[in-house]
Structures are given as C-alpha cells and as structure tokens.
Chain A
Amino acid sequence: MLFKTIAKSEFKRLVEDLLKEEEVIGPKKIGEREDGKAIHQFLPVQSYGELDLEYGRTEYSAKTYFLPYKETLSKYKFSNDNWQQEIEYRLKPRFMIGLHACDINALLRLDKVLARDSYPSPYYISRRRNTFIVGIDHPPLEDCFCRAVGADVVTQGFELYLTSLGDRYFVSINSDRGFNLLKKYAIHDVTDEDTQAYLEVRREHAAGQKPLNLHDIPNLLDIEFYSDVWRQWGQKCLNCGSCAMVCPTCYCYGVSERVSMGGDEGEKSRQLYSCNLKDFACVAGNHNFRPDPATRLKYRYYHQHRGFTETFESPLCVGCNRCGRVCLAGINPPAIFNDLQAEGGA
C-alpha cells in the first residue's frame, strides 16, 4: 500500500472533475428524524456539496449498489415453439465515495460467497469490478461494534481510503487505478508529522469504541442452541425482515419468474429476503422447518456468527448495528450476545 496526502480543497477538485463525466455515489443527507438527528443514505450526487463525508451512519448500507433488493437475471422472448434469452450484467463504471471500513469489509465478506465461492455471481462481480471505491475513516459511533468483529480497519477492497487530518486527507492507495486517478492532482509525500497525526487518529478511533468481546460467540452459539435467550428475543421479533434489508451483508434471496400478460415474454428475477420472514422459511410442499419467530431469529444469528465463521473464518457481521437501529422492537446483536454470555457464565 502507498500513502500520500492531499489537501481537502484538492480532493474537492478531484470529485468535481469526476462529477463532470461519471456517476458519483456518496453519503447524502436526506432529512431528519423526529429527534432532529440527520438521516443519510448512499445516493448519486450532482455536486460536491451534496456529499456529507462527516456523516455518522447511512440508514441503508452500500450493499444495495452491489446486491440490489430486486434485479432481473434474465429475460425471455417466446415465439411459437422457439424462445430467446437475454442476459445483461454490464455496467457503466461508477464511483462510490465515503464508505466506512465496515461497509468495505462487508463487501469483502460478500465477495467470499458471491465472487470467490463455488457459484460466483456475474451480476455481483460486474458491479464490484466497475465500482471505484473511496473509503473514509470516522470516529466510532456510540453503538457500533465493528472492532469486536474485526471490521474496524480495512487493508483491501478499496482504491483510496481517506483519513481526515484537519485541512488534508491521509490517503491509503490500494490499486493502480486509485494511483492513476490521484496522480493527476497535487498530492504530497507523507511526512513524519503526517504519520504521527494519522496514527494518533487511528488510536483515538480504536479507543473510542466500547469494548465488546465476541471471541467466544461461535462456540457459545453451539452450546446455547436451546437457550431461553432465543425464546425471549423471539417473542419481540416482528418478523418483518427490516434487519436483513439494512444489513450490509445479509444476502439470502429468492428467485422467481414472471410472464407478461400477453404470454410472449418472461423474466427471471432475484429478490432479497430475510430468514425472519415466515413465508421465506416455507419450502416446497408448504413445509416449514423454522415455523416460529424465535427459530428464525436464531437462524439469522447462527448464519452471521457461526455458520459463516466456520466456512470463511470471520463472522459475516461487520458490527455496524444498522439492524439494531432499524428494529422497532430493539433487537440488537450486543444485547443478544450479552444475554448469551450471561447464560453461558462467560
């Protein structure tokens, strides 16, 4: 990895140049909650001013730009006894600016399944390859726990990564296309002073997060399979799937086919669902192996923190706590883990 610094005014010029020709997506303030707190979403921006790089957390994760809630996989045209299939997954290159470490780590974890496992998705890979990612450091939020799941730092999965040092950014450069873009602008070699300032920021960020020890969780989940903790939290679950929708890594989906009203065209599409939905748990023959809310809620935690860890050596969860924030019933990972650890005498 290469390190440089760039003045914030120069970075602004860079973004403004991109905006002339490219699609730029970033954190944008879209409104306020009842309590006056800002609501941000990742959205296409038209000007540098629309980007709010000091944002806390976007309501929805960056996942939706790589794994949309609903996407067409293929289209069919029928004529007499013949048919033609159309598949389209090419994408115009685009820029995403302002992803936090958790969202980049989420993409790296999704890559393990959707790009590097037995059945890579060309749709996902196309979006990943054609997206230039600029990450940015942020002070920890009061309720996120990325450090506990190893998602507070990133060493890959981006082109550029910014850390604010007052009037300039400390830039980690992680790809040749990142370097090639940056070299058109006034960048500076890193001084000892820059390095000290950067390390100080990193230390502050690391120290600012509430400590949470989740190392025993995969094992504890096995031991506490029949724990009453699941029943207690399951009673609260609304089975609405909001947690999985805002989650940067939940990728469970259903595939369905639709025919046009004229019967001469068809479409196969993929839609994201959630383990918590009763109808998503239903299988052929109207059987349901997870008929009650507690089992479905547990299953989501087992996939995120046990199943995925066994297969890919890290939890799927990146600790952003968007699920905890969105849940009207207040179901959130730190509280569940706390109860499990208390149950397990940890």
Chain B
Amino acid sequence: MKYLGIEPKRLRVGVFDFTSCEGCELQFANKEETLLDFLGAIDIVNFREISSDQGKDYDIAFVEGSITRSDEFARIIEIRRQAKILVALGSCACFGGVNALKNAYNLTDANREVYGTAPRETLPTRAIKEVVPVDMEIPGCPVNKDEVERIVQHLIWSIPFNFPEHPVCLECKQRFTTCVFEKGQLCLGPITRGGCTAPCPAGGTGCWGCRGEAAEPNFKEFSKIAHERGFSDLEISERMAFFGGFEGEK
C-alpha cells in the first residue's frame, strides 16, 4: 500500500547463494509475524529455497556467500549484469566470512585437511565486492531480518535507512548486560559495528565480530585493554580473523 502518499515500487527480487551455509537467505523466510507482509511487498522471481522457478527478470539481487570456485565467477558476473541493485547478504558475502579462514593456509593443505583423499577444486576466498561491484551490504552471521526489511522498505518506499556505525557496546548496555570482560572473557564488542542488538554477550559469549568493524575502531586501545586482561596477541588476532571483518587492521 501507499505510505505517506508514496506509491510503492514493485520489486522483482532474486535471492542467490554462493559458498555459504545458506543461513542468511533462510532469514528471508523467518520472522513469521511480518512474513506475509514482507512477501506481499516484493515479487520473488528466483529463490531456490522457496521455489523451483528460476526467473531471470529480477531487479534486485540479494547475494549470500563468498566466491571460492571458478564456476562461481560466471554466475556472479551474470547476476551483476542482470540486477539493478546488488545487495551482499551476510558476513561471507560482505567480507569472506568463515570461509576466508583458509586464506591464511596453503590451499593444498587446507583441501587435504577438509576433504582427505577426495580433494575438491578450491580458490582463495573472495568477498563479493572483490569480484563485482556491490551496492549495499548487510553484514552479520546470520543477517538480521529486521535489517533486510529496512533495506526492502528503503527500496520500495525510498525511506532513508542508516546502519549503525557505533560499536556493539551501546546496545549491550541498553539491554543491561554485564560486560563480558568483567567475567574474564574476550569480546570484540568495542570495535565491532553494532545494530545486532548484542545477542551474543547477552547470552554469555563475547562478540566475535560478525558485523565487521565499527566506524574508526580504536584498535590500539582495544589491543592494550585485551592484553591487560591477559589475552594474547594470538587469541586477539584469531578472534578478529574469524569472520574476516577487520580489514582495516589485517
């Protein structure tokens, strides 16, 4: 329906996955309380998880996963050619994600470790933006459906949206969580982009940085704080490498 007299644009949407767990695209079918409205606001023409239709006439492509095989290049280039707007969906698409961990190792060794005597073709992991231009990014592991909805609202009604740039700490405090550093745990919250509502520290686990870095993260002070609390360089760098979201520091 119209919002403030604005006739909504009818979006033809494709949802695609590359190397990933398909958990982000599954979020499209999550949040039941608004699911019917969400599906009513867009026309999904290509989405393997919910339909066998494979329409080619989409305007918006939501792309999950990173690029790790040669055949994936042709597919993502074709999707980019078709889509007016390409949205990278989730940490793998935005910055390589967990898949990028292998980039720190010899690929043959990594292949043998995972596949044993039946190796598969594999390339160094690339984020989508390292292969084709990306218009918008929704980081997270998995993405927050609420942010997906806001992107869709932005696209159909031209409602402005801003992803938070501040660190996770703000939202952690806003849900009255006791700082996990106080409990002796490492947490990347002070340098990680918020907007997730800080579920991990609330559940008792320090932040792993799945949303990538906050605006101008203070790496120097963060590292000092973590060292003072007894965490080693290795622990800190392994944690930061986990989702590959700290490009500025690596």
Contact = CB atoms under 8 A, between A and B. Distances in A.
B165 interface: yes
B172 to A, nearest CB: 8
Given A235-B221, A263-B2, A279 B166 contact: yes
Contacts of A241: 166-167, 169-170, 173
Contacts of B169: 238, 240-242
A41 B176 contact: yes
A102 interface: no
A66 interface: no
B216 interface: yes
A220 B241 CA distance: 45
Interface string A231-271: 00001111111100110000000000001111110000001
A238 B168 CA distance: 11
Interface residues of A, number: 41
A259 B221 contact: no
Contacts of A274: 170
Contact of A263 (B1, B173, B183): B1
B174 A245 contact: yes
Q: Taking each of A81, A238, A274, which has the highest tally of chain B beta carbons within 10 Å of its own beta carbon? A: A238
B157 A263 contact: yes
Contacts of A326: 173, 179
Nearest to B39: A261
B178 interface: yes
Nearest to B159: A259
Contact of A245 (B37, B165, B170, B218): B170
B189 to A, nearest CB: 8
Q: Taking each of A30, A262, A293, which has the highest tally of chain B beta carbons within 10 Å of its own beta carbon? A: A262
B125 to A, nearest CB: 30
Contact of A328 (B149, B170, B181, B214): B181
A46 B176 CA distance: 19
Contacts of A168: none
Nearest to B187: A328
Nearest to A79: B1
B183 A33 contact: yes
Q: Taking each of B3, B38, B159, B164, which has the highest tally of chain A beta carbons within 10 Å of its own beta carbon? A: B3
A272 B166 CA distance: 13
A257 to B, nearest CB: 9
Contacts of A280: 166
A78 interface: yes
A278 B182 contact: no
B218 A261 contact: no
Given A262-B40, A263-B157, A238 B183 contact: no
* Majority SS at the chain B contact face: helix
Nearest to B226: A328
Nearest to A68: B174
Contacts of B3: 78, 259, 263
Q: Taking each of B149, B169, B181, B214, which has the highest tally of chain A beta carbons within 10 Å of its own beta carbon? A: B169
A177 B153 CA distance: 50
Given A260-B37, A278-B215, A240 B170 contact: yes
Contacts of A129: none
A271 B197 CA distance: 13
A45 interface: no
Interface in B199-224: 214-216, 218, 220-222
A328 B178 contact: no
A31 to B, nearest CB: 7
Contacts of A279: 162, 164-166, 215
B149 to A, nearest CB: 5
B30 interface: no
A239 B166 contact: yes
Contacts of B40: 262
A224 interface: no
Interface in B138-154: 149, 152-153
Contacts of B153: 259, 261
B109 to A, nearest CB: 37
Given A81-B5, A240-B166, A263-B8, 15 more contacts: A236-B218, A238-B218, A239-B218, A240-B189, A241-B169, A241-B173, A259-B159, A261-B153, A263-B37, A264-B1, A278-B216, A279-B162, A279-B164, A279-B165, A326-B173
Interface of B: 1-3, 5, 8, 34, 37-38, 40-41, 149, 152-153, 157, 159, 162, 164-167, 169-170, 173-174, 176, 178-179, 181-184, 189-191, 214-216, 218, 220-222, 225
Interface of A: 30-31, 33-34, 39, 41, 59-60, 64, 69-70, 78, 81, 235-242, 245-246, 259-264, 271-274, 277-280, 293, 326, 328-329
7 contacts: A39-B182, A64-B176, A238-B222, A242-B179, A262-B1, A264-B1, A277-B170
